Structure 1
Amino acid sequence: MATRIRPSSKRCAVIGGSGFLGRYLVEQLVDRGYSVSVFDIRQGYEIPGVTFHQGDLCDKQALLAALQGVSLVFHCASPAPSCDDRALFHRVNIDGTQTVLKACQEAGVQKMVLTSSASVVYEGTDIKDGKEDLPYAKKPIDYYTETKIQQERLVLEACDTEKGFLTVAIRPHGIFGPRDPQLVPILVDTARRGKMKFIIGDGKNLVDFTFVENVVHGHILAAERLRPESPLCGKAYHITNDEPVYFWDFMSQVLVGLGYDPPKYRLPYQLVYVLAMVLWLLVLFLRPVLQLRPTFTPMRVALAGTHHFYSCARAKQDMGYQPLVSLKDGIARTVESYAHLRKAA
């Protein structure tokens, strides 16, 4: 049996620490004097002093090895939202999280910060200045959202001040920044294929995009303010740049910054949504005989054509959150980091 090491408040583990957000989180924690162990299915980089444990989220024994002497766990492992694998989402976000919670309680971990998502309350219709007390989506728009709702519930319900296990959930929205494997590469690929000519809707829908360093800042603040008597216990918090921007303006700034033309032709939102829905149903119907992966889904159309921005008032009040990097600087730093994707390149 493994010997129990007394947890130290500066010893933490980042589950999913090889991912986009996870790596930034690890770097910031190291800078702040934490000793960090990373648990992930793959090791994507090396940082002096950081211990890597490779393993499966559903393997409790592998998790326990990474949680020895750890008092604080950040759980940010999840398949990419664009992945369309329902079984994988269920295995990682639900089964994996249940295993993580059991391992944390067995290892004597005192605090857990979950990376949730603001989309847990989004059903494909407008949300303006959404607060955390909005109900969970009754009709989640994809498997990612469906399983993130269940995951957040599991983690927040596990909060138990009497047993000394405290939990909090951070709900970022539209994370972007240098090294992002999703947003900018997909956007550039779409532009290169000549498919970024159209604006869906009137182009005036406001959304939140959040620079990755601000998301990390929110996670660390939450961890450091999470105490038995604090209002954070068992609660969820929106973390954004607090600067809603027109969706198509943001996309255009990134595209133009990299030398591509911005979209300029408008398509009616309802028409595009209906077409995406028909295509999605057709794919479902054909799935037994044909594996198709349309990029044009009802979820993506909804995200591109509706308002979805959230209030950070609760995070400001309970943990003193303020974004560290402005949207303008975040976009500039992101564009600069993708010089290799420029049109001339």
Structure 2
Amino acid sequence: MADPVKILVTGASGFLGGHLVDGALSQGHQVRALVRPGSDAVRLGSLPGVELVTGDLTDGDSLRRAAEGCGAVLHSAARVVDHGSRAQFEAANVTGTQRLLAAARSAGARRFVFVSSPSALMRVREGDRFGIDENTPYPRRWFNLYCETKAVAEQHVRAADGPEFTTCAVRPRGIWGPRDHAGFLPRMVDAMRAGRLPDLSGGKPVLVSLCHVDNAVDACLRAALAPAGQVGGKAYFVADREETDLWPFLARVGALFDCPPPAPRIPLLLGRGLAAAVETGWHLRHRSTAGGTDATPPLSRYMMALLTRSATYDTTAARRDFGYAAPRTQADGLRALREWVNEAGGVAAWTAGPAARARTAAPVGTAPAGPASDHTEQGNTQS
């Protein structure tokens, strides 16, 4: 697959999916972009070499139309929130992935790359973990439905690998960068701007692996083009070169936009109790929506775990099997982020979130697309 191919990208109107489209085009590939009805596809439609197909992971016919004639699939669409019913998560993350696998294989695609998450291995109770590699087994009990359904979907993808249909998964963590309006970084900056972000570290270093969106794109495209025998049926951690002490990093990003640093510092036990109380109260207030709201809890047990547990990942396997080397450094990524935020209208426009931007930009009566299907690995710090 060294020659240019037609690549189907799901979640193309979202953060990572949009960058996957750009990356594929820059390498000379044709792109078919799957977008949900009502999604904002203006930017995608303006890109030469992009064919838009309207569809949904719940609609097998639309997936078959989207996959027809494509040599590779980059599957980034997912439900990336920490609330909702089991049926919602399974429909989006498990059944939708199974439908897309079937459609891609039936259409003759030769490669299927699934954007997974390190959260697929996240347990309810565990402490700091360093240098996690692909030998780490799936847990018997996952932290939440998002973690569980990403893991189950990943296992379906890996099991589908075969001689004429090569499948693999990449696991970027904490994707960040330009055009992200709903992920962990704009949410943290928005809270710092308002003086509402306490330091939840408990005074200890929280060392994490993050992944700039350009690095995630590089890994996905390398996995799509690597020899089948090297990647088939495997899953790979991908991350930035740097290990990051999370809370000083957040303060550094906030300072780029004149935000006060996170304060006051809250003891870990108190923070965990606060997260449990906030999450429980939020679910009680939104019980009537049965998880259908696009809003997310301002703080949850899952978010608290991601913000207070050290978790670093070994990317040796990705480097060995498809030459991944994290082309974008963190310092360069921060410079580019600041430039993009200024060009996009400033920090307030960046952190407004997709719903607020859609209400401003969409015609009266147009329902904005929610975050559940059009982007992945950005709704939380992991993701």
Q: Could you say whether these structures have the same fold, taking a TM-score greater than 0.5 normalized by the shorter chain as the test?
A: yes
* Change in CA separation of 1:289 and 1:43 when aligned onto 2, cut-off 3 Å: closer
Q: How does 1:120-199 map to 2 (within 5 A)?
A: 120-123=120-123, 125=126, 126-161=128-163, 164-181=164-181, 182-199=183-200
Question: Relative to 1, partners in 2 of residues 1:152 and 1:290: Cα closer, same or farther, differing over 3 Å?
Answer: closer
Question: C-alpha separation between the residues in 1 aligned to 2:81 and 2:204?
Answer: 23
Structure 1 residue runs of 5 or longer lacking an equivalent are 1-7
What is residue 51 of structure 1 aligned with on the other side?
Answer: 51
Equivalents in 2 of 1:84, 1:330: separation in Å? 33
Contact kept? 2:81, 2:296, Cα under 8 Å: no
Letter in 1 for 2:180: D
SS in structure 1 at match of 2:156? helix
Contact kept? 2:278, 2:298, Cα under 8 Å: no
Q: Matched residues in 1 for 2:86 and 2:192: separation? A: 28
1:271 to 1:342, Cα distance in 2 relative to 1, 3 A: same
**1:330 CA drift (Å):** 1.0
- 1:221 to partner: Cα distance: 0.7
Range with greater deviation from structure 2 (326-335 or 148-157): 326-335
Structure 1 contact 155–167 (Cα < 8 Å) conserved: yes
| Residues 307-345 of structure 1, C-alpha deviations (whole Å, 9 max, x = no match) | 011000111111111011101111221133223344899
Deviations 1:104-160 (A, max 9, x none): 121111110000001111225322110011112333223221210111011111111
Question: For 1:241, what is the secondary structure of its paired residue?
Answer: coil
1:106 partner amino acid: S
- Answer yes or no: is 1:11 the counterpart of 2:1: no
- TM-score normalised by structure 1 residue count: 0.89
Alignment match, 2:355: none
> 2:258 matched to 1:263?
no
Gaps of 5+ in 2: 351-383
Distance 2:243 2:324 in 1: 17
* SS of residue matched to 2:112: strand
Alignment counterpart, residue 35 of structure 2, candidates 34, 40, 53: 40
How much has 1:285 moved relative to structure 2? Answer: 6.0
8 Å CA contact 1:68–1:107 kept in 2: the answer is yes
Structure 1 residues 236 and 289: CA distance shift in structure 2, 3 A: closer
Quickly say closer, same or farther: Cα 1:49–1:9, change in 2 above 3 A. closer
Q: Is the 8 A contact 2:111 2:165 kept in 1?
A: yes
Q: Deviations over 1:200-239 (max 9, x none)?
A: 3224110111110010000011111142xx2311000001
- Please report how far the alpha carbon of residue 39 of structure 1 lies from its aligned counterpart in structure 2 after TM superposition: 1.0
The offset of 1:14, in angstroms, is 0.8
| 1-structure distance, mates of 2:50, 2:159 | 30
TM-score by length of 2: 0.81
- CA deviation profile, 1:241-285 (whole Å, cap 9, x unmatched): 031111101111111101101124321112211332244345556
Correspondences of 1:177-326 after superposition (within 5 Å): 177-181=177-181, 182-227=183-228, 230-281=229-280, 283-284=282-283, 288=287, 294-326=297-329
2:29 aligned with 1:23, yes or no?
Answer: no
Cα 1:159–1:35, aligned 2, differ >3 Å: closer, same or farther? same
Task: Quickly say closer, same or farther: Cα 1:263–1:286, change in 2 above 3 A.
Answer: closer
- CA separation in 2, counterparts of 1:115 and 1:248? 26
Conservation of the 8 A alpha-carbon contact between 1:208 and 1:243? yes
- Residue aligned with 2:273, SS: helix
Cα 1:177–1:87 shift into 2, 3 Å: same
Two-structure CA RMSD over aligned residues (Å):
2.3
Cα gap change, 1:67 to 1:192, in 2 (>3 Å) = same
Separation in 2, partners of 1:189, 1:31: 32
Q: Which residue of 2 aligns with 1:3?
A: none
Paired residues of 1:166 and 1:226 also in contact (CA < 8 A): no
- For 2:117 and 2:233, locate their aligned partners in 1 and report how far apart those are by CA, in whole Å: 15
Structure with larger RCO (C-alpha < 8 A, sep 6+): 2
* Aligned residue pair count: 334
Select between 312-321 and 85-94 the one with higher mean Cα deviation: 85-94
Instruction: Decide whether aligned partners of structure 1 residues 152 and 344 sit closer, same or farther in structure 2, where only a CA change above 3 A counts.
Output: closer
Distance 1:256 1:186 in 2: 15
